[in-house]
Structures are given as structure tokens and as C-alpha cells.
Structure 1
Amino acid sequence: MSLHPTLQPYADAWTHSIEAISELLQPLPEAEWNRRTPCPGWSVRDVVSHVIGLDCEMLGDPRPIHSLPRDLFHVTNEHQRYMEMQVDVRRHHTAPEMTSELEYVIIRRNRQLRNESRDPGTKVRGPLGSELALEESMRRHAFDVWVHEQDLRTALGRPGNLDSPGALVARDVLLGELPRVVAEDAQAPRSSAIVFDVHGPVEFLRTIRVDIQGRGTLETAPALGPAATLTLDWETYVRLACGRVSVESVSDRLKTEGDPDLTAAILNHFTVTQ
């Protein structure tokens, strides 16, 4: 049996991003691995360690037995502690060790995907002992690896792939979070509409409608007389939604119209990654 058709886009997105990461790292001198990335607290080495660790978990490998230092300022909750384990255990690995492990993990994951015959709804292991459907696991993984590819590109001054298969997965993942951000977190008024106009390599115009019960829904139809409109480019949208920049640092790339308190509340809750 071959990979289920609904899983293929996520496998393709992962493949594209992981190969791009591998290409970015091949000529990288040892000192460059210590460059800071936009991901809080993480260097290039740390981001690559995280990516390797994620794929090891997708392969079903046991998690490392390791005690985290107490002075990691960027680790503030259990989810972050969980993710940091795969990073800290590799913090002193050399560049050749990192690239060798990455290449081996890629080979193993490609083999796993070629032989993957499970139903998309099959329950698989998730972070912190959780369970989730295989389809959701692969979707999140493709999103995560693409975001970290962008972290590495920013750190190394090698922009690109903002419209890749991974970018399209990221678009759908981030749009899926918007109803909660607007209706629940930002507490947008009931019976209102908020428009997001995003341009650049990935473009979309979406409306979040908040009904009389305060529930938000995502719509493709534009709204007449929205309570607020936010206009920004795709890269800024991603970096804000993934917590890579502050609203203040990209204010020149944002245009807001309508209720200023509402737009401020939305932007204050815009980060959806942990």
C-alpha cells in the first residue's frame, strides 16, 4: 500500500523543507552554528537539534534521558521543557555530528513515509503523552519544520521558500487558529466581522465572523463594514503568529483600520505557537 492521498501534501511539504534545511547546513562553518535565530533562546544548532528530535519522535524512537539545566530563561512551561529536552542533549555536538545525524534521520523518515500505509485517523503519540490522529500529526510536523526552515534562513541571511509546499500548510494551520484568536482571546464584539488582507508570496483575504453567541468562523467572503481590517505581508504574518517578532518591531509593515482597541487586542494575542 502507498501513502494515503490526504497525507501526501504533508509528506511533500516535509520533504521540501527538510531537504532545504539540509542544503542550508552543508557548507556551514562550525562558528555559524552558534548564530542566534528568531526562535527565542535557540541558536542554529538548537533549531536543527529540535528538527532532528521531532523526526526521531515521528519515527517512534525513545526520548533521551536527560536533565535540563535550571537557567534556561526561555523555558517557561511544560510544553517548552518537553521540546527543550531534544535540544539540550545535542547542545555540544559538533557540526559534522549534527549534519550526519540529520542525514540519517532523513533517510529513515523517507523510508518510513514510503512504507506508510496507516489510515489518516490512526492514533499516534504526541507531545507530553498525548494522542492525535496521524493526519494531524503529519500536518503539525510539516508546519513546524517549515517554520524552523524560515528561522534558519533568517539567521543565516538566506531568505526563500516563502511560497513552498510547507508555506501552504503553514497558511492553513495559522488560518485555523484565527477564529479562536479573534473571538475568544481578543474578545471581538458579537455579530462583528474582522478582515485579514495578506499579500506577498502567499496571498489571501479572509474574514472572521463572530456570531451572536461569540463564536468565530473563518470565511472567504469579504465583509462589508468590518469592525476592523488588518493588512500585512505574508512573512510578517508568519513571524507574528509564530512569536518571532513583536508587534512594535513590525509596525511599519502593518496597516490597521477600524476599532483601534480591537486591532490592538487581536495583535496582542496573535502568537499561536508555544
Structure 2
Amino acid sequence: MPLHPAAPDDLGGLLDAFEQVVQAIVDLGWACREEDFDKPTENPGWTVKDHFVHVVATEKAFAALPREPLNPPNPSDVRGQFDRIVDVEVAARRQWTGRSVVSELADFHQHRMSQLRGLDLVLESEIAGFFGDHTTFGDQLRAQITDTWVHEQDLRTALDRPGDLDSPAAAVFTSAIIDALPLIAVRDAGIQPGHGILLDVTGPVLARGGARVVEDEHGQPQGEELFSGQDRPEGEEPLDVTTIQLTTEALTRRAAGRRTTDDIHCTITGDRDTARRVLDALDLLSPSRGSAGAPRAGNSLPS
């Protein structure tokens, strides 16, 4: 079943999704009282204000703006470098009021969206990326939308202001989870050939997607889309499919690594151990994933 609402797949739609998700964060900030900025969030050790600072930091890293110098990082620890950049940004605004941070974000985001819409790039344009030496404009934009939407939901949870679970950014995030399932099932969950996993997302973003694990030509486990339409060899053993049914909110909180498998509600049909292993591995913001988390420092889109 395709996602409903569908994730945007054109440049204009992705730019609109990015603009909307940051504007939603700005609007949340304007509605905060100053004491709200000190509230804890589901991201351990982070306050509400820290999330606003993080969004400012990633927007400015995304735009390749100059910043305070840092010690040279270990080349194998790119995410560590990004974490240090965020720490610098947080420290620089330690004495700021929360509303001052929101004001900075609001002003910069308006300017940045004008820049992004004026770039002579298409989704397939190759750029230096936060998640490796090179990526495409489209993939980097999706990653930025995904990360920013997670922080919007962190803020909404902390401030008890639920919403935007059916937004274009929510659809982009859900689409990323569905697309990653074949890799997650084999590499991270260790599901063996002959098994399949189906995610049934009940809304507000409706989605159904899955992965089947088969043997490749070398006899090694290989994940593929459950509904890929590929013909399987005649006589192959029937597939043992486990279904996990859960809401958009439960899925995305788990896939953002904000809640454990035990902290979310879901309904499982089939093998509970298979479901558990997949849910435990379902963390798109894990440092090892490198596909849907916070932007990595040192590379950027054109400013």
C-alpha cells in the first residue's frame, strides 16, 4: 500500500516540506513561555531550548556558514565532529533567552529558504554530503527534513502540543523507514532466509511495507522488498511473515531512537522474537546507519 499522504518526491515538494517543518518549530517557539525552554525532552540531557539551538546549528551547517574553529576530529568519527559543533552552538547560546534563539532561527530560515529556492540544482545534482564524501541534493534534503521533523516531535512531546503527524515531513520520515526495512532486517536484526517482516502503519500517515529475506547466489541472507513483484524460484519454501501494526507516532518515536521497544504500543501477528529483533534494530538515527540522522559537519550544500 502506498503512503497516504504520499511523501513529496519532487524538488518543489521537498523544499515546501522543509520550509513547513522548520516554520512549525518556529511557531512552537513563539508560543513558549520562557520557563518552557528549560523543560526536559525525550532526548536524554536535552532541554527544549537545546532542540531549538540544534535546529539553528544544523541549518547553518547546511548552509556552510563560518563557525568557531574546532580541534581536528578523528576522520572515522564524523558524527562526533558534528556533535562537537552542536556543543559549540549550545555553549555559545548558553546565556541567551529561549525567545532569542527562536528569533535567530526565524530570521535565518527565511533567508535560507530564499537561497535554497534560488539554487541551480535538481534532485539528482551531486553535492558534498553530510553522510559521506558525496550525495545528491535530493537525498541530503530528505535527510535534513527527517532530522528536523524528529526535533519538531521532540518539542511537541515535551510541550504537550501534539501535531503534524500527517505532515509532508512525517511522510518523508515514514517513507525512509519503509525503504530501509530490507537492510535493517538482514544487517541489523539478523533475520534469516525464509522470514519476512511487514510494517502496518495505521496513521495518521498510513503505510504498509515489508521485507523478505532470501539467500543470494552465495548462500548469504539478502533482504528485498516484500512486495517487489519479483518471481521467486519454483519450489521455494513458504515465507514466514511477521506483522507489526502500530501508529505513525509509535513507529517514528521508536525509529528516532527516542523510545525503546518496550516503551511503544504495537500489535504483533506471527513470531514475536522476529518482531522484537526488528523493532530493536529500527533506529534510523543510529550513528551506524548514516542515512537519516542529523547532518554531518564539514560538507554542505552551496550557500
Indicate whether the TM-score tops 0.5. yes
Kindly tell me: are residues 96 and 206 of structure 1, through their superposed partners in 2, closer, same or farther at Cα, counting changes over 3 Å? closer
Q: 1:161-193 deviations in whole A, cap 9, x for unaligned?
A: 100111111111122221121111111111322
1:10 equivalenced with 2:14 (yes/no): yes
- The equivalent residue for 1:217 is 224
1:45 equivalenced with 2:49 (yes/no): yes
Kindly indicate whether the alpha-carbon contact (under 8 Å) linking 2:205 and 2:248 is maintained by their aligned counterparts in 1.
yes
Kindly indicate whether the alpha-carbon contact (under 8 Å) linking 1:206 and 1:221 is maintained by their aligned counterparts in 2.
no
Which amino acid counterpart does residue 193 of structure 1 have in structure 2? G
Kindly indicate whether the alpha-carbon contact (under 8 Å) linking 1:239 and 1:245 is maintained by their aligned counterparts in 2.
yes
Q: 1:7-60 deviations in whole A, cap 9, x for unaligned?
A: 222211111111111111113122111111122321111111111111112222
- The equivalent residue for 1:62 is 66
Greater percentage in helix? 1
Q: CA deviation at 1:128?
A: 7.5
1:120 equivalenced with 2:123 (yes/no): yes
C-alpha distance in structure 1 between counterparts of 2:94 and 2:175, whole Å: 33
Equivalent residue in structure 2 for 1:229, among 223, 235, 243: 243
Q: Which moved more, 1:27-36 or 1:151-160?
A: 27-36
Equivalent residue in structure 2 for 1:25, among 24, 29, 33: 29
1:264 equivalenced with 2:276 (yes/no): yes
1:104 equivalenced with 2:104 (yes/no): no
Q: CA deviation at 1:157?
A: 0.6
Which amino acid counterpart does residue 24 of structure 2 have in structure 1? A
Q: 1:237-256 deviations in whole A, cap 9, x for unaligned?
A: 00000011111122xx2112
1:150 equivalenced with 2:153 (yes/no): yes
C-alpha distance in structure 2 between counterparts of 1:210 and 1:254, whole Å: 22
Equivalent residue in structure 1 for 2:166, among 163, 166, 181: 163
Is the partner of 2:181 in helix, strand or coil? helix
Q: CA deviation at 1:65?
A: 3.1
Which amino acid counterpart does residue 27 of structure 1 have in structure 2? A
Q: CA deviation at 1:88?
A: 3.7
Q: CA deviation at 1:120?
A: 2.5
Is the partner of 2:204 in helix, strand or coil? coil
Kindly indicate whether the alpha-carbon contact (under 8 Å) linking 1:7 and 1:138 is maintained by their aligned counterparts in 2.
no
Gaps of 5+ in 2: 1-8, 72-78, 230-237, 287-303
Task: Determine which structure has greater relative contact order: mean sequence separation of CA pairs < 8 Å that are 6+ residues apart, divided by chain length.
Answer: 2
Kindly indicate whether the alpha-carbon contact (under 8 Å) linking 1:25 and 1:99 is maintained by their aligned counterparts in 2.
yes
Kindly indicate whether the alpha-carbon contact (under 8 Å) linking 1:207 and 1:221 is maintained by their aligned counterparts in 2.
no
Kindly indicate whether the alpha-carbon contact (under 8 Å) linking 2:255 and 2:282 is maintained by their aligned counterparts in 1.
yes
Q: CA deviation at 1:134?
A: 1.2
Gaps of 5+ in 1: 68-75
Kindly tell me: are residues 119 and 31 of structure 1, through their superposed partners in 2, closer, same or farther at Cα, counting changes over 3 Å? same
- Detail structure 1 runs of 4+ shifted over 4 Å in the superposition: 76-79
Is the partner of 2:240 in helix, strand or coil? coil
C-alpha distance in structure 2 between counterparts of 1:93 and 1:164, whole Å: 31
Which amino acid counterpart does residue 127 of structure 2 have in structure 1? V
The Cα RMSD (Å) is: 2.4
